Structure 1
Amino acid sequence: MATAQSGTGRTITTRIPARLDRLPWSRWHWSVVIGLGTVWILDGMEVTIVGNIAARLSEPGSGLPITSGEVTGIGAALYVTGACLGALFWGRLTDVYGRKKLFLITLAVYLAATALTALSFDTWWFFLFRFLTGFGIGGEYAAINSAIDELIPARYRGRVDLLINGSYWLGAVAGALLSIVALDTSIFPANVGWRLTFALGAVLALVILLVRRHVPESPRWLLIHGRDEEAERIVGGIEERVTADGGTELPPAEGEMTIHQRTGTTFTEIARTVFGRYRRRSTLGFALFIGQAFLYNAITFGFGAILTQFFDVPSGNTGYYFAVIAAGNFLGPLLLGKLFDTVGRRIMISGTYVLSGALLFGTAWLFDRGSLTAATMTACWCVVLFFASAGASSAYLTVSEIFPMETRAMSIAFFYALGTAAGGISGPLLFAELTGTGKVGDTVLAFQIGAGLMVAAGIVAAILAVNAERRSLEDIAAPLSAATGPQEAAARP
Structure 2
Amino acid sequence: MDIISRLERIPAGRFHYQLLLLTGLGWMFDAMDTGIIAFVLPVLARKWGLTPAQVGYIGSMGLVGMALGAVLAGSLADRFGRKKVFAATLVFYSIATGLCGVAWNYTVLLLFRFLVGFGLGGQLPVAVTLVSEYAPAGKRGRFIVLLESFWAVGWLAAALISYLLIPRYGWQAAFLIGALPALYVFHIGKKVPESVRYLLEKGQVAAAHQLVSKLEEESGLAVAEAAIVPEKAAKFRPAFQDIWTKGLAPRTVMLWILWFGIVYTYYGIFIWLPSLMAGQGITILKTFQYLLIMTLAQLPGYYSAAYLVERVGRKATLAAYLLLSALCAWFFGQGGSVVSILFWGSMMSFFNLGAWGVVYTYTPELYPTRIRAFGSGWAAAVGRIGGILAPIFVGYMVSARSGFMNVFIMFTVVMVLIAGAVWFLGEETKGKLLDEISR
How high is the TM-score relative to the length of structure 1?
A: 0.79
Contact 2:238/2:371, CA 8 A, preserved across alignment? no
Q: How many Å separate the matches in 1 of 2:31 and 2:55?
A: 15
Q: Distance in 1 between matches of 2:341 and 2:131?
A: 36
> Which secondary structure does the structure 2 equivalent of 1:260 belong to?
coil
Give the alignment partner of residue 47 of structure 1, picking from 14, 30, 34: 34
Change in CA separation of 1:209 and 1:67 when aligned onto 2, cut-off 3 Å: farther
- Conserved? CA contact 1:110–1:137, under 8 Å: yes
Q: Summarize deviations over 1:259-280 as a string: whole Å, max 9, x none.
A: 236443241552443xx43122
Inter-CA distance 390–463: structure 2 relative to 1 (3 Å threshold): same
Point out where structure 1 has 5 or more consecutive residues left out of the alignment.
1-13, 61-65, 244-248, 478-486, 488-493
Assess if the C-alpha contact under 8 Å between 2:60 and 2:391 holds in 1: no
Structure 2 gaps of 5+ residues are none
Matches of 2:429 and 2:344, distance apart in 1? 31
**CA distance, structure 1, for counterparts of residue 351 and residue 294 of structure 2:** 12
Please give the alpha-carbon distance, in whole angstroms, between the structure 2 residues aligned to 1:50 and 1:302.
Answer: 10
Distance between the aligned counterparts of 2:384 and 2:376, measured in 1?
A: 12
Within the candidate set 391, 401, 404, 2:365 is matched to: 401
Please state whether the residue corresponding to 1:167 is helix, strand or coil. Answer: helix
Q: 2:318 is aligned with what amino acid? A: I
> What is the distance in 2 between the residues matched to 1:336 and 1:266?
32
> How far 1:43 moved relative to its partner?
2.3
Match of 1:36 in 2: 23
Choose the corresponding residue for 1:86, options 69, 75, 93: 69
1:50-199 equivalences under 5 Å are 50-54=37-41, 68=50, 72-120=55-103, 126-185=109-168, 188=169, 194-199=171-176
Q: Which moved more, 1:137-146 or 1:296-305?
A: 296-305
State how far apart, in whole Å, the 1-side matches of 2:105 and 2:394 are.
Answer: 30
1:238-270 deviations in whole A, cap 9, x for unaligned? Answer: 222333xxxxx4799xxx984236443241552
The code of the aligned residue for 2:270 comes to: T
Matched residue type, 2:265: L
Shift of 1:403: 0.9
Q: 1:230 aligns with which of 189, 207, 228?
A: 207
Tell me if the contact between 1:91 and 1:139 (Cα under 8 Å) persists in the aligned partners: yes
Counterparts of 2:222 and 2:162, CA distance in 1: 48
Distance between the aligned counterparts of 2:88 and 2:362, measured in 1? 25
Contact preservation (8 Å) 1:118, 1:195: yes
Instruction: Give the aligned residue type for 2:391.
Output: P
Question: Secondary structure at 2:310's aligned position in 1?
Answer: helix
**Kindly tell me: are residues 427 and 21 of structure 1, through their superposed partners in 2, closer, same or farther at Cα, counting changes over 3 Å?**
same
- Pair 1:432 & 2:395 matched: yes
Q: How much does 1:147 deviate?
A: 0.8
Aligned to 1:9: none
Deviation at 1:220, TM superposition (A): 0.9
CA contact (8 A) 1:159 1:333 kept: no
Match of 2:351 in 1: 387
Cα RMSD for the two superposed structures = 2.9
User: TM-score, normalization: structure 2?
Assistant: 0.88
Check 1:257–1:87 CA distance in 2 against 1; reply closer, same or farther (3 A cut): same
Instruction: Return the alpha-carbon distance in structure 1 between the equivalents of residues 309 and 223 of structure 2.
Output: 25
Number of aligned residue pairs: 435
Q: How far apart, CA to CA, are the structure 1 residues paired with 2:405 and 2:59?
A: 25
Q: Which amino acid aligns with 2:312?
A: V
Q: Secondary structure at the match of 1:403?
A: coil
Write the letter of the residue equivalent to 2:62.
Y
Q: Aligned in 2, Cα 1:124/1:456: closer, same or farther, shift over 3 Å?
A: closer
* Cα distance in 1 for residues equivalent to 2:263 and 2:286: 26
1:393-439 CA-to-partner distances (Å, cap 9, x unmatched) read 2222221111111111111111111112212x221233333355555
Q: 1:170-229 CA distances to partner (integer Å, 9 max, x unpaired)?
A: 2112112112332344xx5x5xxx444334333233125413532111111111222222
Q: Does 1:303 align with 2:290?
A: no
Which position in structure 1 is the counterpart of 2:232?
Answer: 260
Per-residue Cα deviation, 1:365-384 (whole angstroms, up to 9, x for no partner): xx2xx7x3122122112213
Name the SS for the 2:231 alignment partner. strand
Say if 1:359 and 1:112 are closer, same or farther in 2 by CA, change over 3 A.
closer
Aligned partners of 1:309 and 1:438 also within 8 Å? no
Matched, 1:283 2:253: yes
Aligned residue number for residue 339 of structure 1: 308
CA deviation vs aligned residue, 1:49-102 (integer Å, no higher than 9, x gap) = 223334666788xxxxx6655984444333221111111111111112221221
Higher relative contact order (CA closer than 8 Å, sequence separation 6+): 2
Q: Secondary structure at the match of 2:427?
A: coil
Conservation of the 8 A alpha-carbon contact between 1:17 and 1:472: no
Q: Would the alpha carbon gap of residues 52 and 308 (structure 1) be closer, same or farther in structure 2, given more than 3 Å must change?
A: closer
- C-alpha displacement of 1:233: 0.8
Q: Does 2:424 match 1:469?
A: no
Q: For 2:46 and 2:348, how far apart are their aligned partners in 1?
A: 36
Query: Is 2:187 the partner of 1:210?
Result: yes
Alignment-derived partner of residue 409 in structure 2 = 448
Structure having the higher helix fraction is 2
Contact 1:301 1:432 in 2 (8 A): no
Residue 134 of structure 1: how far off its partner (Å): 1.6
Distance 2:97 2:392 in 1: 27
For 2:155, the aligned partner's letter is A
Aligned CA distance change for structure 1 residues 59 and 87 (closer, same or farther; 3 Å): same
| Shift, 1:140, TM fit | 0.2
Q: Note the C-alpha offset of 1:297.
A: 4.8
1:351 aligns with 2:312: no
The answer to whether the Cα contact below 8 Å between 2:272 and 2:391 also exists between their aligned partners in 1 is no
Q: Give the partner amino acid of 1:213.
A: K
- Contact between 1:33 and 1:148, CA under 8 Å: does it hold in 2? yes
Contact 1:149 1:400 in 2 (8 A): yes
CA distance in 1, matches of 2:108, 2:329: 40
Q: Letter of the 1:426 partner, please give it.
A: L
